[in-house]
Every structure is written in structure tokens, then in C-alpha cells.
Amino acid sequence: MKVALITGITGQDGSYLAELLLEKGYEVHGIKRRSSLFNTNRIDHLYQDPHDPDQRLKLHYGDLTDAMNLTRIIQECQPDEIYNLGAMSHVAVSFDTPEYVGNVDGLGTLRILEAVRILGLEKKTRIYQASTSELYGGMPENKNEKGFYDESSPFYPRSPYGVAKIYGFWITKNYREAYDMFACNGILFNHESPRRGETFVTRKITRAVAKIALGLQEKVFLGNLEAKRDWGHAKDYVRMMWMILQADKPEDWVIATGVTTTVRDFVSLAFEEVGIKVEFKDEGVDEKAYVVSCDHKDFQIEIGKEVLSVDPSYFRPTEVDLLIGDPSKAKNKLGWVPEHDLASLVKDMMKGDVSLMKKDVVLLKAGHEILKQAE
């Protein structure tokens, strides 16, 4: 039985990857940070009784800032594969916590690589490093002849997150070449799902649209509506992570859809999933969205209602306007093809958030009923 170790297992990618590896018969070990609150909701359905001898998912307390802890866990697990998905991955927040991001996202990668080397596991353990499209920084002159970013495009990170990840990228490549390790970078473009963190723009949009449709929220405030991203489904991307470590030799890979969409269009698609058509008026910081029609039997919303405004405070100090990846290498050499397009991704996310927000409606109604009885 193969053994895999996943850092960041409680996150979006970690939870989907754990599902995939368990389905493939792996014993899966995950590292989670100690917290005063339970943060395992994404993997609770996988993790039942820790005392069950047949339980193939095992969790360990750890942190990417603690080299001794990481080394001990790797020594205990003796993993065939390590997937380093743990990171402080919020680009905007990285401007507020640049030192922490550098320690976790940059040096955390080094700590894993060095632990594998010190323990003499260079020939046994294959390592996947979660890299990011933020390495490119959206610099138009660095695109390939097709207008996309690929494995040979120059890097120009535009955030502390991107800068930290570029260290993780190069130290992985360095250890691969210096110690003949099977260590690979997956340069992931934006990937989303119903499990995406609530502070990321796609999930912020789908949650807000669900709330607006159900009458729980008036409108949503967003930043740069012109920003374009290459959005894929996290399920497709974790499948590619696994494929990277099954390849004949260690390489670096772009994981993307090759299709770009503006934040504005993502908003429109989300509203369409609940039968609401919106119209955008004005430009820049004055741009707003208004309801044009609503043809969903479960939702009632006023025609002409303002449901979106731009808030300049959400603009980044150095904005990346366009990111689009070229997945040709992954398709040609590994046969990877995404199973989800943008429409199915938005549908999946909206279905999840509408269901989630309907529970809030039930709770609100119950609360109102209790107040009435108290009166």
C-alpha cells in the first residue's frame, strides 16, 4: 500500500486530494495546525474513528514553520509521496503579513525538502510542491507566442505571496538537481470549488449571490471587475497533482484550463444560476450591477435593485489584471484534460452555497418564531 503525506489537508485542495488518494487505495497522512476551533470540516466525512485499525486517513499536528516537527512526522510516516499544499495562500492578505508568508510558503518548502534529504529518503519519496500562477505577475511581455503563460515563461511576482512561492519553486528545482530527488512544481492557475475559502473572490461572489437571492443580503462589494483569471475546478487540479508524481521523470508543470474570464462575467454567471439577470452600468470605481429580470420560482427580487458596487479598498497595491495558463504540456505528455468547464464550476459552487444559505433562512425563521412566542 502506498503512503502519502499531505500538508494543508484541511484546505480545499487537500480535502479533494485525500479523497482521490483514498479511492486509489493509499494510506493518507495529513498535517493540520493546532487551533482552538475545529477546522476539519472539509475532511470530516473521510475521518471516522481514529482507533479503527482499517482507518487509512491519519492526522498529525504540525506546522510548516517547525522543521523538527516536520522531520519527525516524515520519519514516522515514511511516505512514498509528499504533497506540500500547506500555505498562506491569500494574495491580498500577504501584503499585511509578508514575513509570515515568507516563512510558511518559502522556507516551509525548504524544511520539507531538507527533512527528506536528512532522513535519506531521496530515492523513496516523491515530492509535489504547490506552486502558483502568481509567479508570473501578469506581465504581458512574458507570455508565449499564443499569449499564454507556460513552463518557460519568465517570472515576475507582484505580491509577497508570489515572491515567497518563487523561493519554493526554485528551492524545489534546486534540490531536484542537486540531490537527484523526484521533486516537482505544479504551477496552478486559479482553481475553485464549493470548498473554496470564503474570503477568496469566487466564493465571496457565490455566497453573496445566494444570500441576495434568498433575501439575506442587500448587495456585494468587490474590487477590480476587469481582472481576468483562468478558473478551473479543484477536482481536476488535484487529479493532475497525482499524475505529476506518477510520471517517468520529475518535471515542472502548468495546471490551467487555457480559458480566461473576468470577475464581472463570473458574477453574471453566478446570478444566472439562480435565475437572475444583472446589468452593469458606469465604469471603474463607479460601476454597479442592477437586477434586470428574475425567472426563478424560488426567489423573488426587486427589478432594478442594486446588487453590486465597487469598493476601491479591495484593489491590491500591485494589481495583476490577467492570468491565463497554457496546459499543453500536461495534456500532451500526461493526457490530462479538465472534466469541468467554467459553467459547471459555477453551477457546482452556486448549488452548494444556495443549499448552505437556505439553512440560514430556516434558522432565521425559527428565531423569529421563538421571539413571537416570547412576546
Residue 31 and residue 1 in contact, taking contact as beta carbons nearer than 8 Å: no
Q: At what angle do helices 201-213 and 342-374 cross, to 10 degrees?
A: 50
Active-site residue flag, 161: yes
Burial string for 279-290 (b: 16+ CB within 10 Å, else e) reads eeeeeeeebebb
Residue 75 and residue 89 in contact, taking contact as beta carbons nearer than 8 Å: no
Active-site residue flag, 132: yes
Q: At what angle do helices 160-179 and 108-118 cross, to 10 degrees?
A: 20
Q: Which three cell numbers stand for residue 219?
A: 448587495
Contacts of 193 (CB under 8 A, 6+ apart): 12, 16, 233, 234, 235, 345, 348, 349
Length of the chain: 375
Contacts of 127 (CB under 8 A, 6+ apart): 81, 82, 84, 112, 113, 116, 172, 181, 182, 183, 184
> Which one of the listed residues 27, 134, 192, 273 is annotated catalytic?
134
Q: Can you tell me the distance from the alpha carbon of 281 to that of 283, in angstroms, rounded to the nearest whole number?
A: 7
Q: Can you tell me the distance from the alpha carbon of 345 to that of 349, in angstroms, rounded to the nearest whole number?
A: 6
Q: How many CB atoms lie within 10 A of CB 133?
A: 24
> Which one of the listed residues 132, 172, 202, 260 is annotated catalytic?
132
Give backbone dihedrals phi and psi of 80, rounded to 5 degrees, phi first. -80, -30
Contacts of 286 (CB under 8 A, 6+ apart): 310
Active-site residue flag, 10: no
Query: What's the angle, vertex CA 197, arms to CA 347 and CA 160, rounded to 5?
Result: 125
> Which one of the listed residues 161, 192, 261, 273 is annotated catalytic?
161
249 half-sphere exposure, CB direction, 13 A CA radius: 5
Q: Which are the catalytic amino acids?
A: 132, 134, 161
